[in-house]
Amino acid sequence: MRKIVALLLALCLCVGIFAGCSTQNSGSGTTTPKVENKPATETTAPVAETVSAPKYVFLFVGDGMSYPQIQSTSDFLGALKDEDYFLAQPSLDDNQGATLDGPEYLNFMNFEAAGSAVTYDSNSFAPDSASTATSISTGRKTYSGTINVDVTGTEIFETITEKVHGQLGMKVGIISSVNLNHATPAAFYAHQASRNNYYEIGEELVASGFEYFAGGGPKKVDGSASENPLPNLYDLAKDAGYTVTFTNEEAEAITADSGKVILIDEHLADSDAMAYELDRTDDMWSLADYVEKGIEVLDNDKGFFMMCEGGKIDWACHANDAASTIRDTMAFADAIQVAMDFAKDHADETLIIVTGDHETGGLTIGFAGTDYDTYLTLLESQKISFQKFDDEYTAAYKENGTTFEEALADIEALFGLKAEGEEGDKLVLTAYELEQLRVAFEKSINGTETGEDAQAEYVMYGTYDPLSVTLTHILNNKSGISFTSYSHTGLPVAVLAEGVNAEVFNGYYDNTDIFNKLAEMLNVQ
């Protein structure tokens, strides 16, 4: 009996110890709403007591980027290097000794710490960028569409960038391949009940005093159309002491002595964002170029915090354009490489974090029509993004009355898809695919009804041009890639880290803990 009592007491003691550990204060100075069934963070001990805080922090956010986007890019690169890739297929009776070489890992896939973050927000398991970026930047949950404000619209959340800027004197840089007042970059300096308050977000950008903004142009620079036009955001920025550049030459001339700067990409594309990487030419700055310039501008004795968003990964996934998704993920990795090169000279002072805000599109490696086979190198046949095809080709077809047969020549040149070809050519359209493409062409160019109801049409095209989205769907599927949605999904995202305190990002946790871990190690309240 004594043994039983002793055992029970020991069990109670263990329970008490573990309960104490689970309620330990993070020391971040913010209160995260209690969430049932929340994965626990792997590290509970205060890291600041044992390891010095990083002087330089790089936070790379691949918008819409989860494991499928990372892995499909890695697999694509591996397939390109594999000389006998097509022979190493499960469907072949004779592989002739060919074996799959495997993926080509992206640079950040080799980081020392690998974690996963849950992305749900206050009203959805498939959240939007405003709320998920809010969770990352403030450690708080809120509604989809809301930036750094609670669900009642009354409490404002202070961001990690505001904290390090105000409390530590660190300089701050915000970079995005989409609009600088879009949801994800805005979540690091703005506080709005609606992500659509672009002008007001732009005003907060100017008021932030952050030293470096770069990438796409802001939306609604002059506010909404009205009888009393609002001051131009660029003029407000200049009045606040910012140097604003609009050309590569002007951007190149910016130095650490230039003070606060806003660098707007010279070659803005759709919606005043940077061009898709698939459409970028040598005379256009890349995301990596803006990171490199940002380091030059921000480097100082007190250190800096740089947030860089690969926003067009998300836009490409919304449109189900796998080739553009992969190329923008590669461009994102190139930007990360700049930070990695910087860290080589500042190994004891630098932390690099790579994550996503959510997954977009429900991207899958595998398609019903290809079974266990993949033919990822077929994606190399796509030469331009869906958006550039819409803007330069579909628009011309409508204006010129181009026939479907005439358009097929462009389709073959730009996507590799062809109506006729040699036996075994995997880019030759089947009768089923050719008919899909013809119906989409007629709907796009001539407004011809497809004969399908609204639900069926949405599944086929979403809100995108029927011709371009059908082209990418067909090429994706022939490659062994598929999408399930034109919106976001509830997949967890990777959190990969390298450098000072990187180990605290191991494990499986909520996306709010990215903020909590950063706030704790940087010792901000």
Could you tell me the two tokens for 343? 């860290």
Q: What CA–CA distance (Å, rounded) separates 318 from 314?
A: 6
Please, what's the b/e burial string for 446-479 (b: 16 or more CB within 10 A of its CB; e: otherwise)?
A: eeeeeeeeeeeeeebbbebbbbbbbbbbbbbbbb
Q: Identify whether the C-beta of residue 257 lies closer than 8 Å to the C-beta of residue 304.
A: no
508/39 Cα distance (integer angstroms): 6
pLDDT per residue, tens digit, the chain (525 aa), is: 333 334 333 433 343 333 333 333 333 333 333 333 444 444 444 443 445 899 999 999 999 999 999 999 999 999 999 999 999 999 999 999 999 999 999 999 999 999 999 999 999 999 999 999 999 999 999 999 999 999 999 999 999 999 999 999 999 999 999 999 999 999 999 999 999 999 999 999 999 999 999 999 999 999 876 667 899 999 999 999 999 999 999 999 999 999 999 999 999 999 999 999 999 999 999 999 999 999 999 999 999 999 999 999 999 999 999 999 999 999 999 999 999 999 999 999 999 999 999 999 999 999 999 999 999 999 999 999 999 999 999 999 999 999 999 999 999 999 999 999 999 999 999 999 999 999 999 999 999 999 999 999 999 999 999 999 999 999 999 999 999 999 999 999 999 999 999 999 999 999 999 999 999 999 999
Instruction: Tell me if 205 sits within 8 A of 189, measured CB to CB.
Output: yes
Question: Could you tell me the two tokens for 393?
Answer: 């080709």
Q: Burial of 107 by CB count in 10 Å (0-12 exposed, 13-18 middle, 19+ buried)?
A: middle
Tokens 């009203």 correspond to what residue?
Answer: 123
Q: What are the residues facing 175 on neighbouring strands?
A: 214, 308
| Per-residue buried b or exposed e for 339-348, using 16+ beta carbons within 10 Å of the residue's own CB | bbebbeeeee
Q: Decide: helix, strand or coil at residue 43.
A: coil
Which pLDDT score, from 0 to 100, does residue 181 have? 98
pLDDT of residue 227: 65
Tell me how far apart the alpha carbons of residues 306 and 176 are, in angstroms, rounded to a whole number.
Answer: 11
Please tell me the distance from the alpha carbon of residue 146 to that of residue 192, in angstroms, as a whole number: 6
DSSP 359-392: EETT-EE--TTTTT---GGGGGG--S-HHHHIII
> Judging by beta carbons within 10 Å of its beta carbon (0-12, 13-18, 19+), is residue 438 exposed, middle or buried?
middle
- Give the C-alpha separation, 444 to 386, whole Å: 14
In the chain, what is the straight-line distance between the N-terminal and C-terminal CA atoms, in Å?
51
pTM over 0.75, yes/no: yes
Residue 338 parent element (H or E): helix 322-344
Structure-token pair, residue 238:
């200049």
pLDDT at 224: 78
CA 326/CA 334 separation, integer angstroms: 12
**What pLDDT, on the 0 to 100 scale, is given for residue 28?**
36
Does the 47-88+97-363+486-522 domain belong in CATH 3.40.720.10?
yes
**Do 142 and 131 contact (CB within 8 A), yes or no?**
yes
Give the 3-state secondary structure percentages of the chain, helix then strand then coil, rounded to 5: 45, 15, 40
DSSP character string of 458-513: HHHHTTS-HHHHHHHHHHHHHHTEE---SSEE---EEEEEEETTGGGG-EEEETHH
Q: E-strand spans in 202-270? A: 212-216, 243-245, 261-264
Q: From 330, 319, 355, select the one nearest 464 (Cα to Cα).
A: 319
**Helix runs in 114-163, H state only:** 129-138, 160-163
Question: Within 13 A of 442's CA, how many CA atoms are on the CB side?
Answer: 10
Asked if 108 and 333 count as a contact pair (C-beta separation under 8 A), the reply is yes
Q: How far apart are CA 433 and CA 439, in angstroms?
A: 10
Number of residues written out for the chain: 525
Q: How far apart are alpha carbons 65 and 226 in whole angstroms?
A: 38
User: In what side-by-side order are the strands of the sheet with 493-499?
Assistant: 243-245, 261-264, 212-216, 171-179, 304-310, 56-62, 350-356, 493-499, 113-118, 507-510
Torsion angle defined by CA atoms of residues 9, 11, 14 and 16, in that order, rounded to the nearest 10 degrees: -70
The token pair that represents 21 in the structure block:
């550990």
Q: What is the rounded CA–CA span in Å between residue 288 and residue 332?
A: 8
Q: Are strands 212-216 and 171-179 parallel, antiparallel or unpaired?
A: parallel
Q: Using CA atoms, how far apart are residues 398 and 356, in angstroms rounded to an integer?
A: 38
For the chain, which residues make up each domain, given as ranges?
Answer: 47-88+97-363+486-522, 366-482
> Encoding tokens for residue 114?
């690998």
